[in-house]
Amino acid sequence: MQKVASNHDNNEATKNDCANSAFRVKVSIRFIIIGMLSCLLLAFAVGRTARNILIVGPQQRVLELQATLEMEYHRYQQEREHESRDVMQLPNPVLKNKPIPKTIYTSMNFDTARSSSVNSRWVVTDDQDDDDMCESTLSQKECQVKSDEQQLVQNNSNDDANIPGGGNEDDEFFLPMGQHLLMDIRNVQSSFLASEERLAKAMLNVVGDCGLTLLSYHCHGLTPSGVSCVGVLLESHVSFHTWPSEGVITLDLFTCGSQSLLPIVESVERLFGMAATSDGPETVWAYKVRGFGDETNEELADLFTFPIGTMTEYKKELVSIEKTSENNQRIDVYDVLRPVYQNYAQYKRSLVDDDSYESRYKDIFQPDRILFVNGILQSRRSAEIPYHEALVHPAMFAHELPSRVLLLNCGGGAALREVLKHKSVTKVIMVEEEKEVVRISQEFFPEYHDCSNILGGSRYCLDDPKVELIYSDIYDWADAQYEQETEPGFDVIILDEIYYIDDPIEEEEDLEFFLFSLLSPGGVLTEQVGDSLPVNNVHSLRENGFQRVVNYEEGHLGFSYPWQFVMAFKNNELRIAWDYAASSWHDGHIGRRLLPTLAGDSSLFYFDGEVMQGYSYPSKRADIMR
């Protein structure tokens, strides 16, 4: 019984153990290790795949693109260096025998390194080694400039203790005004216009010719072509831009210095006008005075308006004398195409003998030649004949029979040519204040002095035995003649000088007083008075004894406005040639009084009976003279 009970107990225990074993899971250590390794491998695979897709792939494409860009940029730089012949070898602006001016340098630029070259140079002294300067890039320059500025500050602190105001003895006081030279040049070599080195050297030479101080310059080579440079001057700036494919460069130079920029026009044309063809470069330029300073009379005169101040297609300076030896006068002669009436293409065609209209009538398309004295337009070739005919012949024909004629400041020569056309003339005295006017006129306006086409005339008008040329101040000469009373009276006096009309000498006798005394009893004085009738001049003529004063005007003389002339008669007698005669009578009178040409024709071109009759009609301006 005990054994059976024992077995029964054992069976119950076994049942209990089986019941408990239904809620347990037995996992081996090997299974756990394998599971963990599988999870790690799966996570690594997922992460690796995600990294390749999201990070590595795009990064590789970016790197490939960057490498491609770098290779393209490197190739472009090599091509540019080859084309411009090592453009990095740019010259430094050098100051000789002068300290570097005190300046503060600041700059800001866009990152253009991938699309253009950037080259800069800073000023050095003549004893400074170029190797000490930065080589080429702007970043290197800024590093060098920083150290240079520190050295300048140290030097300036010492200079300020010795020099009042912190300046040096060569400093110049500059007014808030300046001179501006603008130039456009075409038909220039494309290789020259693409070379920063050659352009920079030309710029430095121009600045040197001006006597200016170049502090620094900066050049950008542009893509696909072209160069832009700016030079910073102590006085202001110089800059230019090029179009190599078009063969064009535009340049401007502005300076507040007192030295004129006009003399360097030829230098700029020579240094920048590297001709691309045998035709040579074509230049259009203008010179202007800007700012708020006190302009001189010359800068307000005709010369600085036209042609200097106008961008005309063609103008060429033939001579420029800043101060003559006699009277410190300025004399300029220019050849210039007249706007509206002429253009450069027609002028070039006239130079070619191809049976074109322009080549068959060359004189029409030749540049006009203009003479300026003290900036005032004195004569122009295109209108000198009508001007001198209007100046001379009304007075000569208004006199009954002029024999002795006095010319005052008519050194251009054309007034003498017109006077010598009159048969009755036996003596002509020319009083000229400036020898250079006569010399310049003989050299550049030879036709003014040519009397060979007048019957019995001389090849050179001044060689005529009837002519006497005297160099003297006309006021002093007239005063001396009045005191000496040695010369017999003159029938006609012609004054071609507006100075004595606009600015009469104060506290002395008027010039008109002496001229009145030099006239014969029936004498006539004539003078050009500009584009307006000066009332003071009319009153002065009457106050000094002239009994009758009349005026006339001519609108075809090449001036902006009709030009005014005044005739003053010593007595008040009526003149048939001025007061009564019809144009037909004048024509006959002119034919009898004048010497013909060698061909037997009239020696006049524009002046005739109708012109004379038109002059004699009183104008509205004449009302103020009554």
Question: Terminal CA-to-CA distance of the chain, rounded, Å?
Answer: 180
Q: Angle at CA 198, nearest 5°, toward 203 and 104?
A: 45
Token look-up 């920063």 returns 196
Interhelix angle 583-593/384-398, rounded to 10 degrees, is 90
What does the block give as tokens for 558?
């090449």
- What distances in angstroms separate CA 513 from CA 261, 305, 310, 392, 558, one per listed residue? 43, 35, 42, 21, 32
Question: Does the annotation count 531 as an active-site position?
Answer: no
Distance, CA of 318 to CA of 370 (rounded, Å): 10
Residue of 460, 463, 456 whose CA lies nearest to 598:
456
Positive or negative: CA dihedral 515, 520, 521, 522: negative
- Contact yes or no for 595/456 (Cβ under 8 A): yes
Distance, CA of 222 to CA of 194 (rounded, Å): 9
Tell me: cis bond preceding 339? Omega within 30 of 0 counts: no
Distance, CA of 342 to CA of 299 (rounded, Å): 26
- What distances in angstroms separate CA 296 from CA 288, 299, 332, 618, one per listed residue? 13, 5, 16, 37
Longest dimension (CA), the chain: 194
- Contact yes or no for 360/465 (Cβ under 8 A): no
Q: Which residues lie below 8 Å from residue 225, measured CB to CB, with a gap of 6+?
A: 194, 243, 244, 245
Catalytic residue, candidates 127, 496, 510, 531? 496
Catalytic annotation, residues:
496
